[in-house]
Amino acid sequence: MSAGQHHRRSVPGRRGRLAALAAFTVLASGALTGVAPAAFAAGDGRPFNDALDHAAESYDVPRDLLAAVGYGESRLDGHDGQPSQANGFGVMHLVSNPEQRTLEEAARLTGRSPAELRRDTGSNLLGGAAVLRARADALGLSAAERDDIDAWYGAVAKYSGAEAATARLYADTVYRFLADGLHTSVDGEQVEVAARDVAPEIPEAPEVGPAAVSQDYPSARWVPAAAGNFASGRSAAISQVVVHVTQGSYAGSISWFQNPTAKVSAHYVIRSSDGEVTQTVKDADTAYHARSANASSLGIEHEGFVDDPAWFTEAMYRSSAALTAYLCEQYGIPKDRAHIVGHVEVPGNDHTDPGPNWDWAHYMELVGGESGAVDELTFASYATQLSGSSGPQVKAVQRLLTDLEYAPGAVDGAFGSATQAAVRAFQKDKGLEADGIVGKATWTALLSAGSTPTLRSGSSGEAVSRLQRALTAASGRTVAVDGSFGSGTAEAVRAYQSARSLEADGVVGAATWQALQSGR
pTM over 0.75: no
Q: Tell me if 5 is assigned to some domain.
A: no
pLDDT surpassing 50 at residue 510: yes
Say whether both 67 and 166 belong to one domain.
Answer: yes
Say whether both 356 and 225 belong to one domain.
Answer: yes
Which of residues 203 and 257 earns the better pLDDT score?
Answer: 257
Share of the chain above pLDDT 90, in %: 59
Q: Tell me if 23 is assigned to some domain.
A: no
Of 319, 351, 369, the position where a domain reaches its end is 369
**Confidence band of 29 (pLDDT split at 50, 70, 90):** very low
pLDDT tens for each residue of 369-382:
754 444 678 877 78
Q: Tell me if 484 is assigned to some domain.
A: yes
pLDDT tens for each residue of 72-104:
898 899 988 988 888 899 999 999 988 899 999
Domain that holds residue 106: 46-191
How far is it, in rounded angstroms, from Cα 49 to Cα 68?
Answer: 14
Say whether both 501 and 412 belong to one domain.
Answer: yes
pLDDT tens for each residue of 208-235:
555 688 999 988 999 999 999 999 999 9
Say whether both 262 and 352 belong to one domain.
Answer: yes
Say whether both 54 and 186 belong to one domain.
Answer: yes
**Confidence band of 191 (pLDDT split at 50, 70, 90):** confident
Number of domains in the chain: 3
**Mean pLDDT on 290-310:** 93
Of 369, 385, 416, the position where a domain reaches its end is 369
Say whether both 440 and 382 belong to one domain.
Answer: yes
Say whether both 307 and 392 belong to one domain.
Answer: no
CATH code of the domain in which 125 resides = 1.10.530.10
Distance from chain centroid for Cα 21: 33
Say whether both 164 and 50 belong to one domain.
Answer: yes
Say whether both 115 and 252 belong to one domain.
Answer: no
Q: What is the largest CA-CA distance in the chain?
A: 81
For 278-314, letters b (16+ CB in 10 Å) and e give bbbbbbeebbbbbeebbebbbbbbbbbbbbeeebbbe
Burial of 345 (0-12, 13-18, 19+ CB in 10 A): buried
Of 369, 394, 414, the position where a domain reaches its end is 369
* Residues 6 or more apart whose Cβ sits within 8 Å of residue 498: 504
How far is it, in rounded angstroms, from Cα 474 to Cα 121?
Answer: 37
Q: Tell me if 63 is assigned to some domain.
A: yes
pLDDT for position 210:
56
Number of neighbouring beta carbons within 10 Å of residue 404: 16
DSSP string, 475-499: HSS----SSB--HHHHHHHHHHHHH
CA distances from 136 to 90, 91, 140, 206, 231 (A): 21, 20, 6, 18, 38
CATH code of the domain in which 278 resides = 3.40.80.10
Q: Tell me if 3 is assigned to some domain.
A: no
How far is it, in rounded angstroms, from Cα 233 to Cα 216?
Answer: 14
pLDDT for position 347:
84
Say whether both 491 and 442 belong to one domain.
Answer: yes
Q: What's phi and psi for 25, nearest 5 deg?
A: -100, 130
Q: Tell me if 339 is assigned to some domain.
A: yes
Say whether both 363 and 381 belong to one domain.
Answer: no
Tell me which H or E stretch contains 25. strand 24-26
Say whether both 317 and 356 belong to one domain.
Answer: yes
